[in-house]
Amino acid sequence: MPQPSITTQSITLAPIAGAIGAEIAGVDLSQDLPEATVAAIRRALLDHLVVFFRGQSLTPAQFMAFASRFGRPVKYPFVKGLEDFPEITPILKREEDRVNFGGLWHSDTVYQQEPPMGTILYGLEIPPYGGDTEFANQYLAYEALSAPLRAFLDGLTAVNMSGKGAVQKTRSDAIERASAGLKGDELVSRHPVVRTHPETGRKALYVNAAHTTQFEGMSEEESQPLLEFLFRHQVKPEFTCRFRWEKGSLAFWDNRCAQHNPINDYHGFRRLMHRVTLAGDVPV
């Protein structure tokens, strides 16, 4: 059940939707945070799957210092990071661009053998309207399925590819501007369709429309009907929240149990974000 706004360890926590997401106030992320505050933020992340902060002012060094309190920052495989901070990936949509980076529902880089445990996104230049991000709770998506379907999915493995057509188009401009040396279609992984979160022990759906192509041992044609059902099911409105960005906003989500979708509805405006992903483990 969603909880009302509460204050703990000098932070104020306010859920923004019934299914997922909470805003945290009372924290200046540019500072060296006390261990108790870091622990409270981590607890909020595990409870709410994505947490949001507003009114932050972070240099790249401060952004990296904050991220490093929660895990080990890792490079994004396809786009170069900042020159002095290669683990920070700039996410830029220019006024003339029509496609936005990662602009469809997905979990970050699940095509890697060890996908990131979390992603942190910081807003530097924000359009006057549009550009919201949606998030979806994959615990609830799994739990809402019938018992027979859950039992069937528990035994399946998903094939995930970095070069699935729709997502490849969303990053082509970024790769063209700042390629890290790969074309974008080289990586393939096999992970459980239902993964168990290593910290909470809860089960979550772990397929996504951007990267999952089929079930292992089945053809794409055989897999497609069930996958298409899951792709629609796992982002139903009752599993989601929507965050409106402002300059200085920061979102930190748990990639192991949440999906996100950056909405591409701000053509003609510039939007610049800085992103850090944190090392994860092999899904089980």
Where residue 84 falls (left for φ over 0; alpha for ψ -120 to 50; beta otherwise) is alpha
Is 33 in contact with 27 (CB distance < 8 Å)?
yes
32 is catalytic: no
**Side-by-side strand order, sheet with 240-243:** 240-243, 133-137, 258-262
- Copy the structure tokens of residue 130: 């549009």
For residues 56 and 59, give the distance between their C-alpha atoms in angstroms, rounded to a whole number.
Answer: 10
Active site residue 69: no
Tokens of 203: 């089960």
Check if 28 is active-site. no
Point out the catalytic residue in the list 191, 211, 271, 275: 275
* Residues 186, 188: Cα–Cα separation, whole Å: 7
| CB contact at 8 A, 115 and 283 | yes
Which of 171, 211, 260, 271 is labelled catalytic? 260
Which pairs with CB-CB distance under 8 Å and at least 24 residues apart come from 149-154?
A: 150/194, 153/193, 153/194, 153/205, 154/193, 154/194, 154/203
150: its two tokens: 């859950």
Q: What is the β-pairing status of strands 89-93 and 258-262?
A: unpaired
Catalytic option among 108, 171, 211, 271: 108
Active-site residue identified among 106, 195, 197, 256: 106
| 211 flagged as catalytic | no
Of residues 261, 276, 274, 277, the one with CA closest to residue 125:
274
Active site residues: 106, 108, 260, 275
